[in-house]
């Protein structure tokens, strides 16, 4: 493993650790850090593979806390929107995908309620699955939109983190399939993905065991500042 691959693997560990503790932020930080290291056309699918490992492991380590009753509607919305989104992807120049990602990150950090207007109160989990997977397939890093809904429904932090991890696993599976249909070959990046996969699984394991002992709000404030810096870096890289 090269020093470059080792460095990203260690970074992936810390982003997965962060998400396992707070439930948000790690995936956006990771894709922003990967921009420039991975070609724009491969950035989203390679990131999706890593995040699939992170979310599956996080859900697996805390599977007893998953609220399965909120999964079926989310999966239905994800499948429908992912299928539609895959068709629109054919119209997008993948070289500019880092710009889309940066814009979605800034919206998520500074306008956290911007997506709420798109969600239906009557079928909330279906709508969240559709919006999250649909925009995610188009390159948007929408983050775990279900966090706020699950908390509003009375779920505890362990239940929110593990249920969202299970839902995000579905989102990333669909995203990987969509890019495969476009002919993007992520296997060319298998050495990097292998190291980063090990990193995110270890991060999920440590984070799951540390979740109750660390200050969630402090981590979230740090995450917002870091995400803003990384998103602005991505915009700069797109035009230079």
**Per-residue pLDDT reduced to its tens digit, 22-74:** 877 788 889 888 887 888 878 889 999 999 999 999 999 999 999 999 999 99
Structure confidence at residue 210 (pLDDT): 87
Q: Name, in order, each residue with C-beta under 8 angstroms of 199's C-beta and a sequence gap of 6 or more.
A: 8, 9, 10, 11, 12, 13, 16
- Asked if residue 120 has pLDDT above 60, the reply is no
Residue ranges covered by each domain of the chain: 3-238
Handedness of CA 223, 229, 233, 234 (dihedral sign): positive
- Per-residue pLDDT for 201 more than 60? yes
What is the reported pLDDT for 195? Answer: 95
**Residue 205: partners with Cβ closer than 8 Å, 6 or more residues away:** 57, 61
- Rounded to the nearest integer, the mean pLDDT of the chain is 83
- For the entire predicted model, the pTM comes to 0.81
Residue 117's pLDDT band (cuts 50, 70, 90): low
Whole-number Å distance between alpha carbons of 184 and 161? 30
What secondary structure, in 3-state letters, does the chain show?
CCHHHHHHHHHHHHHHHHHHHHCCCHHHHHHHHHECCECHHHHHHHHHHHHHHHHHHHHHHCHHHCCHHHCHHHHHHHHHHHHHHHHHHCCCCHHHHHHHHHHHHHHHHHCCCCCHHHCCCCCHHHHHHHHHHHHHHCCCCCCCCHHHHHHHCCCCHHHHHHHHHHHHHHHHHHHHHHHHHCCCCHHHHHHHHHHHHHHHHHHHHHHHHHHHHCCHHHHHHHHHHHHHHHHHHHHHHHCC
Interval 139-179: pLDDT, tens: 656 666 677 678 777 788 889 899 999 999 999 999 898 88
CA–CA gap between residue 118 and residue 4 (Å, rounded): 40
Of 114-128, 146-160, 179-193, 216-230, give the lowest mean pLDDT range.
114-128
pLDDT of residue 28: 83
Percent of the chain with pLDDT over 90: 35
Q: What is the pLDDT of residues 7-17, one digit of tens each?
A: 999 999 999 99
């Amino acid at each position: 493993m090269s020093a470059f691959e080792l460095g990203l693997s260690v970074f992936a560990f810390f982003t997965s650790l962060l998400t396992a503790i707070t439930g948000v932020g790690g995936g956006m930080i990771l894709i922003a850090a990967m921009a420039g290291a991975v070609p724009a056309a491969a950035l989203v699918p390679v990131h999706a593979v890593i995040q699939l490992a992170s979310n599956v492991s996080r859900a697996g380590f805390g599977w007893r806390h998953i609220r399965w009753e909120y999964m079926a509607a989310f999966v239905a919305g994800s499948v429908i929107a992912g299928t539609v989104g895959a068709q629109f992807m054919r119209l997008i120049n993948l070289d500019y995908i880092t710009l889309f990602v940066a814009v979605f990150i800034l919206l998520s950090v500074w306008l956290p309620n911007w997506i709420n207007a798109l969600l239906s109160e009557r079928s909330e989990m279906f709508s969240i699955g559709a919006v999250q997977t649909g925009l995610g397939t188009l390159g948007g890093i929408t983050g775990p939109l279900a966090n706020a809904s699950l908390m509003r429904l009375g779920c505890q932090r362990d239940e929110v983190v593990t249920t969202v991890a299970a839902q995000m696993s579905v989102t990333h599976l669909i995203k990987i399939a969509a890019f495969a249909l476009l002919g993007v070959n992520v296997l060319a990046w298998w050495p990097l993905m292998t190291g980063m996969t090990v990193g995110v699984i270890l991060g999920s394991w440590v984070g799951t065991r540390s979740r109750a002992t660390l200050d969630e709000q402090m981590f979230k404030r740090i995450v917002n500042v870091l995400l803003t810096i990384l998103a602005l870096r991505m915009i700069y890289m797109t035009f230079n």
